[in-house]
Structure 1
């Protein structure tokens, strides 16, 4: 009777021994078992970004435990010397300075294909110490370069006065090119935006080019001056543009108006200003002494009741430097857009000596047109086709276009 219970107890001993090795934690729900398997599989993945996506990975459990004890946690496959405590932020300069290194874009495997998950922390955390030093240096160089560029552009903006606010509204038909006198108009049709012939009623036609009237002098400069002034007074319409006095700073009788400042102010206020008030764009008087204007223009500008909208200059030079010197003087002094109502090849270093060498003239014409077309301070320019410029410079001779005229036409054809 005793043997039977003993035998049964003996048979149960192996089962009891095995039960001692079992852990209640191994009795998991199906959900926990599935998560455990997924975590193990993801831990074997080479992508640290995919491991991050799974919230039940072992490393995160470890992180939570260590965080409760106030300890820092270094993610696996990261440089421990560069890791950060949990919840610490990455310096914003790092992610901004090198976007391609500090920002990784991962398509979520569980989201639709259009869903994009951006991870900055992982890519930044896995950046080595050396790489971060390179990034910092690169960022510093970029900032220095940016600062240097800004400084240079500021300096350039002060030095390059040839790029002011656009003066396109002061350019007839949007075309700067013009000519003085009407004898070459038939060859220049389609190339010009405007023209004039020193009179109040320009005679001739050049397609759509604007014919600009002029108030030449005070009525006493020569035998024709009184009729010119009367013709201007009799204008019954409001011209789009009006050109002011012809070289009033030089003595009358040599192609200049020879007008004193007080008389010029009086005539301007009485006959020109009303046109300006009615809508005409006013082009100021020209100075025969070019940049050496000898104090005539300043008092005139201060005395008139309505100042010119456009500065009027003559350029009688034989080099690019001479052209630019005149432009710089008038723009820097008065700050207005400029019409060059006469330009010609002249050596004015010791007087007024017109150029006579055709190759020199041809070169000067191309140089002048290129400067005028590219300089935004210039709203208009006109080839001087008047008298006193020698036999080679005029555009027309014996009813034919001269070599100089052909050169001007060629220079214009590059732009119009």
Structure 2
């Protein structure tokens, strides 16, 4: 099943190459985070399970290239780190994405405050230098620029403290919104309190590009926090982690990859 789907999605992508950029749905906040590749198949195929949801308006895949054909959403390119595999071809990849999708925002580095777990592990000075070189020039195109995303670790050199150091060192950079990640138990009030603190610290619009439940009931958690995030004017966008299959019911896709988990159904509808 996955092999045939992968070939079909690649065919769909080639058909779009010369087409006008896809136009995103309305101005909602809710997005999809999906892997570029998942065990040899295009992770974009999992977005199709959300095609009937008017709640979903944007997407990203931790890169600036999509394998396969996702649903018609606004796409947000991300530069994962300053490593060559990320920076080589970055500007061309963004330009190609702009030909295929609506692109109005760009995300900077993924968790430079963390080693492992998808973190890019970048000293603040290196992150600032790379941001100036690869992200800041895109502001001249009229794109809105996001800060690096940081974990919710509450120790020196991590989380909010890391991003404060970055923002101070890059004070002349165009940073239109700050980006938070959050993983913890299913206590909605703790989540809300953290995001309020994040916003108060930087006094800029907030994107929550990864959040998830590590212990407890993800479904109940989402029913509590999704309406709250939608109601906060200072939270611009958010994406639950993530649109992919897993044996863990906290993800949005069923383990066989064929549909939405109960968590995904809530994410698509509440």
Q: What's the TM-score, normalizing by structure 1? A: 0.50
Moved more, 328-337 or 289-298: 289-298
Gap change, CA 1:409 and 1:371, over 3 Å in 2: same
8 Å Cα contact 1:366-1:408 kept in structure 2: no
Instruction: Tell me which of 289, 293, 299 is aligned to 2:165.
Output: 299
CA distance in 2, matches of 1:408, 1:402: 5
Higher strand share: 2
8 Å Cα contact 2:113-2:150 kept in structure 1: yes
8 Å Cα contact 1:310-1:336 kept in structure 2: yes
Q: Give unpaired runs (5+ residues) of structure 1.
A: 1-170, 220-225, 347-354
Specify which structure has the bigger relative contact order, considering alpha-carbon pairs within 8 angstroms and separated by 6 or more residues: 2
Report the CA distance between 1:194 and its aligned residue: 0.3
Report the CA distance between 1:394 and its aligned residue: 1.9
SS at structure 2 position matched to 1:276: helix
Q: Give unpaired runs (5+ residues) of structure 2.
A: 1-23, 35-43
SS at structure 2 position matched to 1:179: strand
Residue 170 (structure 2) pairs with residue 286 (structure 1): no
Task: Provide the residue aligned with 2:7 in structure 1.
Answer: none
Instruction: Tell me which of 98, 111, 116 is aligned to 1:247.
Output: 111
SS at structure 2 position matched to 1:267: helix
Q: What's the TM-score, normalizing by structure 2? A: 0.74
Task: Provide the residue aligned with 1:400 in structure 2.
Answer: 258
Task: Provide the residue aligned with 2:137 in structure 1.
Answer: 274
Task: Provide the residue aligned with 1:313 in structure 2.
Answer: 180
Gap change, CA 1:236 and 1:363, over 3 Å in 2: closer
Gap change, CA 1:204 and 1:368, over 3 Å in 2: farther
Gap change, CA 1:408 and 1:398, over 3 Å in 2: closer
**Structure (1 or 2) with the larger CA radius of gyration:** 1
SS at structure 1 position matched to 2:88: helix
Residue 196 (structure 2) pairs with residue 334 (structure 1): no
Report the CA distance between 1:411 and its aligned residue: 4.3
Give runs of aligned pairs for residues 3-402 of structure 1, distance below 5 A: 173-181=26-34, 182-189=44-51, 190-191=53-54, 192-219=56-83, 226-235=84-93, 237=95, 239-251=103-115, 253-290=116-153, 293=159, 295-304=161-170, 305-317=172-184, 318-346=186-214, 355=215, 360-385=217-242, 391-396=248-253, 397-402=255-260
Task: Provide the residue aligned with 1:121 in structure 2.
Answer: none
Gap change, CA 1:290 and 1:412, over 3 Å in 2: farther
Gap change, CA 1:294 and 1:373, over 3 Å in 2: closer
Report the CA distance between 1:278 and its aligned residue: 1.9
Q: CA offsets per residue over residues 6-58 of structure 1, 9 Å max, x none?
A: xxxxxxxxxxxxxxxxxxxxxxxxxxxxxxxxxxxxxxxxxxxxxxxxxxxxx
CA distance in 1, matches of 2:163, 2:247: 29
When the two structures are aligned, how many residues end up with a matched partner?
223
Q: CA offsets per residue over residues 282-302 of structure 1, 9 Å max, x none?
A: 111111235652621112112
Higher helix share: 1
